[in-house]
């Protein structure tokens, strides 16, 4: 059996805070009772206790992944390390979603669900930049939108990803 890793080491490995590891361990141990594992069907409940609500499809994918891991490691249940890997991935994706939401709101303060050429003009003016409408239109088109329609959050996230922001 490999040596138990400390919360500090686990936090560093998973890009989480030590307090996150403690919280994740507590949720796991609530369902683990006397054993060092939990049943794969309990994973969704444990994630919900952490405020992570996987969709039905995500739950299916997580269950399939964990079942495969359990089989490859000859384990009768989900170990803490297996659970931590799944939870850490979900937590970091949730953080990315909230970053995208906050950034999008900066461009779309009225909450229309679109970033228009007017929004880009406003941002350029706020930054003290002089940008021609054709350049702004080109930016919208590069992101998959248009002068008339602007871009939605998905297009915004995609273009920011291509730019290396996320």
Q: What are phi and psi of 38, to 5 degrees?
A: -120, 160
| 83 and 139 together in one domain | no
CATH number of the domain to which 119 belongs = 1.10.238.10
Please state, for a pLDDT cut of 90, what percent of the chain lies above it: 43
Q: What is the pLDDT of residue 64?
A: 93
Residue 87 lies in a domain: yes
Q: Domain span at residue 139? A: 108-162
pLDDT digits (tens, 9 = 90+) for 113-151: 999 999 999 999 988 889 999 999 999 999 999 999 999
For the entire predicted model, the pTM comes to 0.56
| 18 and 72 together in one domain | yes
pLDDT band at 99 (very low <50, low <70, confident <90, very high): confident
CA dihedral 127, 128, 132, 134 (to 10 degrees): 0
| 136 and 85 together in one domain | no
| Dist CA 113 CA 67 (whole Å) | 39
| 29 and 75 together in one domain | yes
Q: How far is CA 13 from the centre of its chain?
A: 17
| Averaged pLDDT, 21-29 | 90
| 84 and 120 together in one domain | no
How many domains are there within the chain?
2
| 116 and 83 together in one domain | no
Query: In which element (H, E) is residue 38 found?
Result: strand 37-38
């Amino acid at each position: 059996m490999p040596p138990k890793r400390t919360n500090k080491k686990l936090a560093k490995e998973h890009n989480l805070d030590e307090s996150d590891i403690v919280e994740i361990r507590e949720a796991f141990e609530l369902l683990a009772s006397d054993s060092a594992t939990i049943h794969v069907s309990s994973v969704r409940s444990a994630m919900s206790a952490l405020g992570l609500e996987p969709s039905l499809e995500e739950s299916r994918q997580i269950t399939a992944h964990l079942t495969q891991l359990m089989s490859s490691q000859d384990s009768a249940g989900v170990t803490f390390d297996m659970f931590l890997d799944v939870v850490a991935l979900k937590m970091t994706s949730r953080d990315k979603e909230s970053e995208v939401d906050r950034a999008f709101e900066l461009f779309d303060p009225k909450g229309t669900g679109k970033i228009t050429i007017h929004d880009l003009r406003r941002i350029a003016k706020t930054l003290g930049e002089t940008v021609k409408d054709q350049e702004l239109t080109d930016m919208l088109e590069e992101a998959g939108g248009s002068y008339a329609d602007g871009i939605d959050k998905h297009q915004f996230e995609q273009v920011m990803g291509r730019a290396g922001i996320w």
